[in-house]
A and B are shown apart, each in its own frame.
Chain A
Amino acid sequence: QKEVEQDPGPLSVPEGAIVSLNCTYSNSAFQYFMWYRQYSRKGPELLMYTYSSGNKEDGRFTAQVDKSSKYISLFIRDSQPSDSATYLCAMNSGNTPLVFGKGTRLSVIA
């Protein structure tokens, strides 16, 4: 079992839809959870950074962490074609290397 599992998609949604992206993990020591957006042939861009369980909102983006289920989510409201990218979840337990999922490729169709 991989430490972090993420459905690679692709996921295709119409413009304006609510997008739900998810990751599961196996290491209960993970405490810090991140979502990165990566456009084709570019470096990952940090979108959300959360600690432990709970929700965090930033504009159209909401990150949720459920440590009891070892499950994290990223919601994108009112999705736009410019949101089309690969979304990577990543996590660690503080001063340890980031462990990434494989990424989910999202296409938002106008």
Chain B
Amino acid sequence: ETGVTQSPTHLIKTRGQQVTLRCSSQSGHNTVSWYQQALGQGPQFIFQYYREEENGRGNFPPRFSGLQFPNYSSELNVNALELDDSALYLCASSLQRGEEQFFGPGTRLTVL
């Protein structure tokens, strides 16, 4: 069974640019959640997708947007990047909403 995968592993962008991060959920999992983890902090919830619909959103501005595809893979898009967006972005999938979440390895984003 393949676990959660994320791409790319690392990314360097400059302020004002846009970025797309990708996540493939674990086989059979229909729910994907995205988190931002700043250095030395716990992950912070960005949003969750369930069967291609947004199913909850944390305290992040609208320039953070997402998408889930029919195969339950997902994208996180961030527009107008700011220096504070530098973090590890984590994707987690679960079999159903409200069940255990399994994380991918993350994408480390650096904004210069």
Q: Are A43 and B98 in contact (CB under 8 A)?
A: no
Q: Are B100 and A95 in contact (CB under 8 A)?
A: no
Q: A49 to chain B: which residues have CB within 8 Å? A: 100
Q: Name the contact of A45 in the complex, choosing from B6, B40, B98, B103 (C-beta under 8 A).
A: B103
Q: Are A95 and B103 in contact (CB under 8 A)?
A: no
Contact A102-B100, Cβ < 8 Å, known A43-B105, A97-B58? no
Q: How far is B45's CA from A92's CA once the two chains are assembled, in angstroms?
A: 12
A contact face: mostly helix, strand, loop, or mixed = loop
Q: Are B43 and A95 in contact (CB under 8 A)?
A: no
Q: How far is B100's CA from A95's CA once the two chains are assembled, in angstroms?
A: 10
Known: A94-B98, A98-B92, A100-B44. 19 other contacts (CB 8 A): A36-B103, A42-B105, A42-B106, A43-B6, A43-B90, A43-B103, A43-B104, A44-B43, A45-B103, A46-B100, A46-B102, A88-B42, A88-B43, A98-B43, A99-B45, A100-B43, A102-B41, A102-B42, A103-B40
Interface residues on chain A, number (Cβ under 8 Å): 25
Q: Are A97 and B42 in contact (CB under 8 A)?
A: no
Q: Are A96 and B56 in contact (CB under 8 A)?
A: yes
Interface residues on chain B, number (Cβ under 8 Å): 26
Q: B110 to chain A: which residues have CB within 8 Å? A: none
Q: B41 to chain A: which residues have CB within 8 Å? A: 102-103
Q: What residue in chain B is nearest A8 (Cβ atoms)? A: B40
Q: Which 10 A-B pairs have CB atoms at the shortest separation, nearest pair first?
A: A100-B42, A95-B98, A97-B45, A43-B103, A43-B105, A44-B103, A43-B106, A94-B98, A95-B97, A102-B42
- 1/0 contact trace for A72-94 toward B, CB 8 Å? 00000000000000001010101
